[in-house]
Amino acid sequence: MENLTGAKRARFVILLGALTSLIPFTIDMYLPAFPVLAGIFDTTASSVQLSLTACLLGLALGQLFAGALSDMHGRRKPLIISLVIYVIASAACIFAPNIYIFIALRFAQGFAASAGLVISRAIVRDVSSGAELTRLFALLMVVNNLVPLLAPSVGSGVLLFADWKGIFMALSLLGITLLLITVFRLPESLPAEKRIPSQLGSTFGSFASILRDKQFTGYALAQGFLIGGVFAYVAGTPFIYQNIYGVSPQVFSLLFGMNGIGLIIGSYAVGRFAHKVSEKRFLEGALYAAVLSGAVLLAVVVLHGPLWAVVIPIFFFVSAIGVVGTASFTLAMERQSHVAGSASALLGLLPFILGALTAPLVGIAGEETAVPMGLTIFTMCLIALLAYLFLVKKAVKPAV
């Protein structure tokens, strides 16, 4: 499978992209319903944002188990089990009697959905390396980044014809579809002789050895903090756009989806020009661009600027994620090919842990200010850049 070309590569990428799409659908599809959920459960904006936090924590912790188990038992079996759990949790959300049960079920949803991401990434590493790894992962990111264009719009479309429960019914059906695709169309990519015959506890112990690689850790932190800032944007904009600027759920979905174009452009650029421009150069340039965008956004929200002045820096900030997510992953995974599942899990862990921390922060000052969101995004961008400079660039700098 290392020489996938043409139609075979396209089918392979679409198949894996469908599995990774479960996470953005799970995160983004219910965003237009945030104000509705606050009323349904008679709770605050911060409590509704906690349901996102719970989902992100589930995504983070689930990846640790899914990645380790997939290195031990192959890619298919853990993926199939996780999809069954996802369908059950999604259906149960429909019957949640209060916000607390809903938050718990969102955690279960995220925990189960995580396998689609971490195992798909591990499969890419199983079947490719070098420039081909970069191209395949960039294509996978393009497919995956199409989902933010669709998910909020699908969610707002569902709200035109049904209540919020229709969103989770749709997620249940998506889970069933992906389960069938996995069972009948996804071959095993990790041969038995390459699996790690160990107990789960000792597998987790290997995480420490992976993290001792400073460059891997630098890539993981740069990606993690930057994407952590994205979740501040994800949690904050449903209330900021709709409550402060008065846009409808449909307009919010359009504005949110526009940023998916930036993600696609960023991911595509890395894959398209991988032979001409190094991944490290792409990564460093995108990190500086993210810091600049974050600074502009912070200034705009402090000065209570108009909607367009908020939308533009957010677009460039999110576009940088497409570059950083693709470049940092390929650079980090090249260094850990022997434990691809565990390394993929660690790369996926940090963004969701940090996202779980940042999501509630954006509502800490109430629903009528965007300053916490701007400050959080700028801070995360700055830390991401510093992590790269001190752990990656400084580590490879030749001695004088």
Query: Across the chain, what does the average pLDDT equal?
Result: 83
* Annotation: CATH topology of 12-185+199-394: Growth Hormone; Chain: A; (1.20.1250)
The residue-averaged pLDDT of 194-219 equals: 73
d(Cα 276, Cα 294) in Å, to the nearest integer? 28
Using pLDDT thresholds of 50, 70 and 90, give the confidence band for residue 276.
confident
Output the pTM of the full model.
0.72
Using pLDDT thresholds of 50, 70 and 90, give the confidence band for residue 400.
very low
Listed residue (374, 323, 377) closest to 354, CA to CA: 377
- Which residues are CB-neighbours of 76 under 8 A, at least 6 positions away? 182, 186, 187, 188
User: pLDDT tens for residues 53-73?
Assistant: 899 899 888 887 887 788 888
Output the CA angle 244-51-34, nearest 5 degrees: 30
Q: What is the pLDDT at residue 112?
A: 95
Check residues 227 and 68 and name the one with the higher pLDDT: 227
Q: What is the pLDDT at residue 28?
A: 80
DSSP 8-state code for residue 192:
G
User: pLDDT tens for residues 368-395?
Assistant: 788 989 999 999 999 999 999 999 887 6
Min mean pLDDT across 40-44, 104-108, 151-155, 346-350 is at 151-155
Check residues 272 and 254 and name the one with the higher pLDDT: 254
On the question of pLDDT at 96 being above 50, the answer is yes
Q: Which tokens sit at 183?
A: 């069972």
Tell me if 42 sits within 8 A of 202, measured CB to CB.
no
DSSP, residue by residue, 222-253: HHHHHHHHHHHHHHHHHHIIIIIS---HHHHH
Check residues 202 and 16 and name the one with the higher pLDDT: 16
Residue type, 322: G
Check residues 308 and 16 and name the one with the higher pLDDT: 308
Tell me if 314 sits within 8 A of 376, measured CB to CB.
no
On the question of pLDDT at 341 being above 70, the answer is no
